[in-house]
Amino acid sequence: MSGTFTKSMARNVFYGGTLFFILLFLALTFDSMQALPERDNRAALTEEVAHGKKLWEVNNCIGCHTLLGEGAYFAPELGNVYVRRGPEFIKAWIKSQPTGAPGRRQMPQFNFTEEELDAFFFNVTSTTEIYTNDWPPNVEG
């Protein structure tokens, strides 16, 4: 083989590589489009979930908590809190804040009504139904 790299060889490498990566891109796009409808859970979005999301945003919960890995790391991950603790614990925890335990981080008291607590709970539980590819990697978030 010759030790020189000709224009013709460079052109062939460029066109071959370009064709390869275009085909790879198309194959991955096709695969993603086939997999996404199976993971879509838009049917789970209800008025209660939307109301709970609004409470989440108005009270700036993301300022302390993470949700599916996004947000602040001051307080626990809430993407799998339903699996970890269950509905009664979540509601009781929100109602009992702040606990006043010395040396612990304190969550403010939001004075949610029962309807708002249920809406917030529906929002949190709807995140457990999202396919996250096993995120967070451990149960405790």
pLDDT at 141: 55
pTM of the complete model: 0.66
Both 118 and 94 in a single domain? Answer: yes
Both 70 and 6 in a single domain? Answer: no
Among the listed ranges 24-33, 101-110, 129-138, which one has the minimum average pLDDT value?
A: 129-138
Both 17 and 49 in a single domain? Answer: no
Q: What are φ and ψ of residue 81, in 5° steps?
A: -65, -30
Both 58 and 85 in a single domain? Answer: yes
Both 21 and 54 in a single domain? Answer: no
Both 49 and 117 in a single domain? Answer: yes
pLDDT at 64: 92
Taking every pair of Cα atoms in the chain, the longest distance, rounded to a whole number of angstroms, is: 80
Q: Which residue has the higher pLDDT, 37 or 13?
A: 13
Both 96 and 64 in a single domain? Answer: yes
Euclidean distance between CA atoms 36 and 43, whole angstroms: 14
Q: Is residue 135 situated within a structural domain?
A: no
* Cα of 74 vs its chain's centroid, Å: 17
Per residue in 65-83, pLDDT (tens digit) is: 988 888 888 888 888 888 8
Q: Is residue 140 situated within a structural domain?
A: no
**CATH number reported for the structural domain that contains residue 103 in this entry:** 1.10.760.10
> How many domains does the chain divide into?
2
Q: Is residue 136 situated within a structural domain?
A: no
Both 67 and 120 in a single domain? Answer: yes
pLDDT band at residue 42 using 50, 70 and 90 as cut-offs: low
Both 27 and 60 in a single domain? Answer: no
- Domain hosting residue 34, numbered range: 1-40
Mean pLDDT value across residues 113-128: 87
Whole-angstrom distance between the N-terminal and C-terminal Cα of the chain?
Answer: 57
Task: Evaluate if residue 38 carries a pLDDT over 80.
Answer: no
Euclidean distance between CA atoms 44 and 130, whole angstroms: 10
Task: Evaluate if residue 58 carries a pLDDT over 60.
Answer: yes
pLDDT at 12: 96
Q: Is residue 121 situated within a structural domain?
A: yes
Q: Is residue 25 situated within a structural domain?
A: yes
